[in-house]
Structure 1
Amino acid sequence: MNANPLGAKLAKLLSSSLDDPKLRTSLVALSDFYSVNAVNARHNLRGDIERRGTEVNYEFMYELEKVNMQFLELEAEMNAMNSLCQEMQDRLNLANDKTEALLEQTDALREQSKICQVRQTIMEAFLERFTLSESEITILCSTAMDVTPSFFNALEHLENIHEDCNALLITEHQRAGLEIMESMRTYRSISYEKLYRWMQNECKNMTRPDGMMEVREVTKRATQALKQNDHFFKLIMEELVHVRRNAILRAFIDALTRGGPGGTPRPIELHAHDPLRYIGDMLAWIHQTVASEREFLESLLSSEKRNKDRGQIEIKLPKPSPLRLAESDMSDTEIIDSLLDKNLEGTARPLKSRVEQVLISQANAIQAFRISNLIKFYSSTIDKAIGSEATLSKTLHDISQSSMQVFYEAIGKQSADLLRRPETPGADLGPTSAVKEIVLQLKEIMKSFDTSFVQADEGNQDFAPILGAIVDPLFQACEIGAANQNTFNRAIFMMNCLHYVQTALIYPFTKHKVEELEKQIQEYVDIVVVEQHIVLLKQSGLAPLIQAMETKDEKVPLSSVPNMDAASISAVLSRLGYFLGSANVDLTSRLSKIVSSRLAKTISTQNLKLFVDAYRRMCEVIEDPRNGYDSPATILVHTADDVEKLLVEG
């Protein structure tokens, strides 16, 4: 160890690092102690540092005393504040004790207030649902206010109240329901009476004859609303019928006598000289009126659903009233049909009287039939529009029957004239002029019937009586006229007349009559065939042979019958060749008066076959050993096949 303290100290100083921050800070602080680096100052450095430390400590203590005094003041203030808080707490505890009952009462009142609010809400909803507001009462009952959409809203509310009261009657609130219904009954009566008066004035303006009037939505709603009151609805419908019936009747009379506005179209009665056009114009006017009137009534009375289906504005209606009687309910279609019937019944009488006047003067069957067809068409069409039970429909049925009666009377008179003066057949045995005239008339009638609107499945049934009334007396007259003719000529004449009529029946509705005539023609064909067969047998000389063959006793041989020996038969058959050569020509000549070549050919073919069959039977009898002919081959110059070949195939 170094004994020199100074050296040690120097060594310590020299070994110290001048980069030490603490050292640097200390040196900077010491630099402020002295302004000059004097020896005296360096010797007193320690004392100066200690003195400076003491001064700093005194300053610190002085400042700390000031802080202490502030803390003491703060403590006093905190104590005072604490006293005040305690005092306030004591007061609050005292006040809380005093207001506890008031708070309990306040909570109870608050709960009661909530209950009252709920009750108030319920009461307001009840009053809104079961009572009318002052404005609604004014709208419904005041005669000074017009009927507007708000009226129907109020009326709907009133009807809803009635319906809701019925729900109350089945609960424990029956008394309330009865009292509310009683109070609403007066308003309901007044409101419907007001609506009825308003609608009555509206009906008085519905006088346009063609029915093409614009029906306001408010009028539609009024009509629908009145349906809820049977009494007022019935009255307003009667008022509507009265107005519309008079308007339509006046329009019909004007159309007959005055024509349209400015004379266009011209009055219908100007065409009274042309019965078909006259009646057609009247019926067309009525048909058009039926269509326009139905459209008007549907617009006025149609339900909400129908209006929506047609794209019209929705009409909001009151709910059906529970007070309505179930048996008085009618659908819109039934109401419209009933109104159409009543509105148009005024036209029935003038129409019927004029048509009957025309029919009285009709003597022409064709014209009478055309008129009847026309009336029947419009009768069927109008039936579909207003129903068959309507007054106008019944009138049309009556005049349709009257027109058919006139037609049948004309046909009957014509038939009576034919039967009274029947026309005799001519030399050609063809149809008489009377037959041709009747057929010409029949063609016109069938043409008219064919162009009518009678359904195909009803045509045969409808036309059969007409056809019978015309044709049957004609054939009867033909038979009377041909009574003096021989059977052959009478059959040909009747065949020609039947065929002439049959060829005119070319329409589907005459099918049954054609078949019936075909059967009658076949009967006369059979007569002609039989008559001609007898002639052929006589001309050929076979008649006595065939007669003897058919009349002899079966036990007696044919050869033992007089004139039926082999020589007699051979003599007859030897002349058969000449007959066979000219038989076809002679037969055709005798059938030349038959108008139908088809029928003539049929008769000729049947006659030849009958002759061949008769000859074949005769050959078989002669060849039969039981009849006693020794050499049949020498007797039968011509075989049956030879005869058939010459007659049928030749």
Structure 2
Amino acid sequence: MSVSLELLSGKEDVSSGANPDNAISQLITNILSTSYNDPSLRQALSVLDTKMEENTAENRRQLRSNIETSVLKSGSTILKDFTKLHQKLSSLGDSIQELNNQYNHMEKVVSQATKDTLLIQKQAEELRSSEETISIKKRLLEAYENNFVLTDQELDILNNGLLASGADEVEQFFQVLQKVNHIHNDCQVLLSADDTSQTGMEIMGQMSAHLDKGYERILIAVENEFKKMVSGQYLQISKSLRRYLTILSSERPNLFDSALNGLIDTRQKNLTNEFIKALTVETSTSKPIDFYAYDILRYVGDIMAWIHSAIVGEQEILETLLLDDKKTLLQKIDKATTSLVKPLRLRIEQVISTEDNLVDIYKVGNVLNFYYSIFIKIFSNESSAIMTAISRLEEACSRQFSQCLQNKIASQKDGLGAVTRPGSSLLRDLQPPEFFSDALADAKAILSSYEASINFTSPPSNQFKQTLHDLIEPYLELCNRVSESLPSVDSEIFVINCFDATKSTLSLFPFVQYKIDQMNNRTDELAEVLEDSQYYKFLSSSGVNSILNADKTLNREKISGNTQLIQELAASLDNFLPAANMESSVLLHRLSSPRLSSSITLRASQRFVDIFQQIKQCLDELYGEEAAVLMPRSVSEVKTLLAIE
């Protein structure tokens, strides 16, 4: 920098004359102690550099005066500027003072006005407060009228006029009824407050009365609709009626039950009248059902078909009223059809009690059981009146069936003597008597009916097994009693023929194979008796019986050394064997089963061959080669003559 240290001190001329050494020393000290990193010093040097273009002695001498002159000029300029500012501030102060004066004046005026309008203001505040209170009361009154009060028009709609007069009127009625119901429920709010509880109770009482009146009107409308219903018609329920029933069911179940009970009572009367009419009155297209009472099967079938049609009709009608309540629906159907039970039981029990045909009685029982299985699907329980009636009718059928069977068997027992009197066909051909054939015909018809019935099972139920036993075994017992009066072989042939006829009937029905097996076992037992008789006949006719013991075993002592007896036996055999088959055919020709006859003869012949073989063996042992001379017949020849080979 071109500025000297002396210039920096600013005291060159002032201190040069007094104590120069100290001044210089102090100056040097100040200079040396000065930090050239000081921002203010650096800034001062920068300004000084701009003020001095050249670092000359002249410039250094005039530096101070130049700076002071510059400062004076700057001060003068500042004074001029501040003079203008002062003038403006003075003017602003005057304006503020004027504003203060005006404010004070206005404050005095307002204060006076406030004092003057204080009463009016108080009155205005009171009016505003009253206005708010009145507005609240008005809203409360409007809300009260809207929520807790019925208009005259609404009361008229609720209490007067027929609901069925028009759709608009019905809709208005339901709107009013809904409003009454809401008011009744909203009264709980009034009851919860001490100051409005009395009012709430009064309103609730009024609304309860209105509700009762409204529901009674609905009940009347429902009853009027129900009166239009007649039995047999399919009910087309209108929207309004369905709405009536829905409301009564949910809000007044007792009125709903009352309406339904009234309908059921009407339906009972109509059903009874129509049933009696169907039973007794002839129409242009059909005879009355009672006209066919002579045909028990058709008669009972027609009655049960009518009952079924009536129950289905009632179900269809009541289902439209009770869509979701299955239990109540079944109860009402049962109640509606209860009136049919008495004439139903009276008619059917009467024809059952007078019927003596076993097959028809059994078929009637199957018809009743068939409808029982249908009705159980509708009623879902066995305690309904119709189900109970059918069960009792089935029991009546069962009793009548048993009674008729017993009577028939008893009458046959009394007539057994005529069956075996001389000249009867039974003694000629040993075939089953007519009463047994009739019994088998009944059994066949009953088996066919059972096979076609809804209760059919294979193997059959124990109940049906007992029925089949009752149908056949008593008659077989009668046949056994008849056989007791016949000769020995004829007795067995007769009973076997009865068994064979029974098997022929039962063989048409595979589900009674167990009974056929029983007959086969009993036939085999009697066939063994016939086989013994045939065998003993062979022994007697052939003369072999003369050399046998009592137990039909060979007596060796009789033929030992008795050649004459042996020769007589050989001659007797020669006479017997050619006609043996003919004799056996004559003995068993009245067996109805040729297969069984052949089987019995074959087994008896085989036994005869066995005893003849024992005789030949014994003769060979006793007489050696002479045996062939004494008994020339060989075993093979005997087999051939008896048609075994």
Q: Which band: TM-score by shorter chain?
A: 0.5 to 0.7
- 1:306-321 aligned at under 5 Å gives the runs none
- 1:387-402 aligned at under 5 Å gives the runs 387-402=381-396
Query: Kindly tell me: are residues 629 and 239 of structure 1, through their superposed partners in 2, closer, same or farther at Cα, counting changes over 3 Å?
Result: same
Partner residue in 2 for 1:249? 272
Structure 1 gap segments, 5+ residues each: 1-81, 95-108, 170-174, 304-331, 553-557
Matched, 1:431 2:453: no
If the length of structure 2 is used for normalisation, what is the TM-score?
Answer: 0.64
Partner residue in 2 for 1:419? 413
Query: Kindly tell me: are residues 645 and 513 of structure 1, through their superposed partners in 2, closer, same or farther at Cα, counting changes over 3 Å?
Result: same
Tell me by how many angstroms 1:373 deviates.
Answer: 3.6
Partner residue in 1 for 2:560? 565
Partner residue in 1 for 2:111? none
Matched, 1:287 2:288: no
In the TM superposition, what whole-angstrom CA distance separates every residue of 1:330-364 from its partner, at most 9, and x where no partner exists? Answer: xx222122111111111221222222333344334
Matched, 1:607 2:604: yes
Tell me by how many angstroms 1:529 deviates.
Answer: 1.8
**After the TM superposition, which of the residue ranges 466-475 and 490-499 deviates more from structure 2?**
466-475
In the TM superposition, what whole-angstrom CA distance separates every residue of 1:573-598 from its partner, at most 9, and x where no partner exists? Answer: 74586345543343233221100122
Query: Kindly tell me: are residues 139 and 574 of structure 1, through their superposed partners in 2, closer, same or farther at Cα, counting changes over 3 Å?
Result: farther
Matched, 1:382 2:382: no
Name the CA distance, whole Å, in 2 between partners of 1:258 and 1:458: 45
**After the TM superposition, which of the residue ranges 483-492 and 181-190 deviates more from structure 2?**
181-190
Query: Kindly tell me: are residues 382 and 549 of structure 1, through their superposed partners in 2, closer, same or farther at Cα, counting changes over 3 Å?
Result: closer
Partner residue in 2 for 1:353? 346
Code of the residue aligned with 1:244 in structure 2: it is R
Partner residue in 2 for 1:584? 581
Partner residue in 2 for 1:365? 358
Provide the secondary structure at the position in 2 that maps to 1:265.
coil
- 1:21-60 aligned at under 5 Å gives the runs none
User: Contact conserved, 2:459 with 2:512, CA < 8 A, in 1?
Assistant: no
Partner residue in 2 for 1:59? none
Residue-pair matches, total: 511
Partner residue in 1 for 2:16? none
Matched, 1:338 2:335: no
Query: Kindly tell me: are residues 356 and 564 of structure 1, through their superposed partners in 2, closer, same or farther at Cα, counting changes over 3 Å?
Result: same
Name the CA distance, whole Å, in 1 between partners of 2:413 and 2:360: 23
Name the CA distance, whole Å, in 2 between partners of 1:600 and 1:469: 30
User: Contact conserved, 1:246 with 1:346, CA < 8 A, in 2?
Assistant: yes
In the TM superposition, what whole-angstrom CA distance separates every residue of 1:285-307 from its partner, at most 9, and x where no partner exists? Answer: 2111111111111112113xxxx
Query: Kindly tell me: are residues 639 and 154 of structure 1, through their superposed partners in 2, closer, same or farther at Cα, counting changes over 3 Å?
Result: farther
Provide the secondary structure at the position in 1 that maps to 2:531.
helix
Query: Kindly tell me: are residues 335 and 589 of structure 1, through their superposed partners in 2, closer, same or farther at Cα, counting changes over 3 Å?
Result: same
Partner residue in 2 for 1:311? none
Matched, 1:236 2:236: no
User: Contact conserved, 1:419 with 1:476, CA < 8 A, in 2?
Assistant: no
User: Contact conserved, 2:162 with 2:221, CA < 8 A, in 1?
Assistant: no
Tell me by how many angstroms 1:616 deviates.
Answer: 5.7
User: Contact conserved, 2:560 with 2:622, CA < 8 A, in 1?
Assistant: no
Query: Kindly tell me: are residues 546 and 397 of structure 1, through their superposed partners in 2, closer, same or farther at Cα, counting changes over 3 Å?
Result: same
Query: Kindly tell me: are residues 647 and 201 of structure 1, through their superposed partners in 2, closer, same or farther at Cα, counting changes over 3 Å?
Result: same
Query: Kindly tell me: are residues 533 and 198 of structure 1, through their superposed partners in 2, closer, same or farther at Cα, counting changes over 3 Å?
Result: same
Code of the residue aligned with 1:267 in structure 2: it is P
User: Contact conserved, 2:376 with 2:382, CA < 8 A, in 1?
Assistant: yes
Query: Kindly tell me: are residues 145 and 410 of structure 1, through their superposed partners in 2, closer, same or farther at Cα, counting changes over 3 Å?
Result: closer
If the length of structure 1 is used for normalisation, what is the TM-score?
Answer: 0.64
Provide the secondary structure at the position in 1 that maps to 2:608.
helix
Matched, 1:522 2:544: no
Which of the residues 306, 315, 318 maps onto 1:297? 318
In the TM superposition, what whole-angstrom CA distance separates every residue of 1:292-335 from its partner, at most 9, and x where no partner exists? Answer: 111111112113xxxxxxxxxxxxxxxxxxxxxxxxxxxx2221
Query: Kindly tell me: are residues 163 and 442 of structure 1, through their superposed partners in 2, closer, same or farther at Cα, counting changes over 3 Å?
Result: farther
**After the TM superposition, which of the residue ranges 610-619 and 361-370 deviates more from structure 2?**
610-619
User: Contact conserved, 1:566 with 1:629, CA < 8 A, in 2?
Assistant: no
- 1:14-163 aligned at under 5 Å gives the runs 141-144=158-161, 146=163, 148=170
Name the CA distance, whole Å, in 1 between partners of 2:479 and 2:179: 84
Name the CA distance, whole Å, in 2 between partners of 1:439 and 1:549: 41
Query: Kindly tell me: are residues 338 and 614 of structure 1, through their superposed partners in 2, closer, same or farther at Cα, counting changes over 3 Å?
Result: farther
In the TM superposition, what whole-angstrom CA distance separates every residue of 1:205-262 from its partner, at most 9, and x where no partner exists? Answer: 22x12142322233233333333333223322321221110111111122223345xx
Which of the residues 240, 245, 251 maps onto 1:223? 245
Name the CA distance, whole Å, in 2 between partners of 1:498 and 1:224: 70
User: Contact conserved, 2:500 with 2:593, CA < 8 A, in 1?
Assistant: yes
Matched, 1:266 2:287: yes
Name the CA distance, whole Å, in 2 between partners of 1:544 and 1:163: 119
User: Contact conserved, 1:248 with 1:344, CA < 8 A, in 2?
Assistant: yes
Provide the secondary structure at the position in 2 that maps to 1:593.
coil
Partner residue in 2 for 1:487? 488
In the TM superposition, what whole-angstrom CA distance separates every residue of 1:123-178 from its partner, at most 9, and x where no partner exists? Answer: 99x999x98987997599534362746666777788899999999x9xxxxx99x9
Code of the residue aligned with 2:266 in structure 1: it is V
In the TM superposition, what whole-angstrom CA distance separates every residue of 1:36-79 from its partner, at most 9, and x where no partner exists? Answer: xxxxxxxxxxxxxxxxxxxxxxxxxxxxxxxxxxxxxxxxxxxx
Provide the secondary structure at the position in 2 that maps to 1:563.
helix
Name the CA distance, whole Å, in 2 between partners of 1:641 and 1:529: 22
Query: Kindly tell me: are residues 259 and 462 of structure 1, through their superposed partners in 2, closer, same or farther at Cα, counting changes over 3 Å?
Result: farther
Query: Kindly tell me: are residues 137 and 454 of structure 1, through their superposed partners in 2, closer, same or farther at Cα, counting changes over 3 Å?
Result: farther
Name the CA distance, whole Å, in 1 between partners of 2:588 and 2:257: 80
Partner residue in 2 for 1:476? 477
Code of the residue aligned with 1:396 in structure 2: it is I
User: Contact conserved, 2:264 with 2:336, CA < 8 A, in 1?
Assistant: yes
User: Contact conserved, 2:272 with 2:339, CA < 8 A, in 1?
Assistant: yes
User: Contact conserved, 2:219 with 2:255, CA < 8 A, in 1?
Assistant: yes
Name the CA distance, whole Å, in 2 between partners of 1:211 and 1:404: 37
In the TM superposition, what whole-angstrom CA distance separates every residue of 1:266-298 from its partner, at most 9, and x where no partner exists? Answer: 333333444433333222221111111111111
Tell me by how many angstroms 1:600 deviates.
Answer: 1.6
Query: Kindly tell me: are residues 414 and 380 of structure 1, through their superposed partners in 2, closer, same or farther at Cα, counting changes over 3 Å?
Result: same
Query: Kindly tell me: are residues 480 and 548 of structure 1, through their superposed partners in 2, closer, same or farther at Cα, counting changes over 3 Å?
Result: closer
Query: Kindly tell me: are residues 160 and 405 of structure 1, through their superposed partners in 2, closer, same or farther at Cα, counting changes over 3 Å?
Result: farther
User: Contact conserved, 1:226 with 1:233, CA < 8 A, in 2?
Assistant: yes
Name the CA distance, whole Å, in 2 between partners of 1:279 and 1:639: 74
Code of the residue aligned with 2:520 in structure 1: it is E
Code of the residue aligned with 2:509 in structure 1: it is Y
Which of the residues 197, 210, 214 maps onto 2:232? 210
Name the CA distance, whole Å, in 1 between partners of 2:636 and 2:177: 105
Provide the secondary structure at the position in 1 that maps to 2:221.
helix
User: Contact conserved, 1:140 with 1:191, CA < 8 A, in 2?
Assistant: no
Cα RMSD of the aligned pairs, angstroms, is 5.2
User: Contact conserved, 1:533 with 1:610, CA < 8 A, in 2?
Assistant: yes
In the TM superposition, what whole-angstrom CA distance separates every residue of 1:171-199 from its partner, at most 9, and x where no partner exists? Answer: xxxx99x9899887666544433333332
Partner residue in 2 for 1:99? none
Query: Kindly tell me: are residues 530 and 239 of structure 1, through their superposed partners in 2, closer, same or farther at Cα, counting changes over 3 Å?
Result: same
Code of the residue aligned with 2:159 in structure 1: it is S
Name the CA distance, whole Å, in 1 between partners of 2:145 and 2:608: 113
Name the CA distance, whole Å, in 2 between partners of 1:607 and 1:127: 118
Provide the secondary structure at the position in 2 that maps to 1:209.
coil
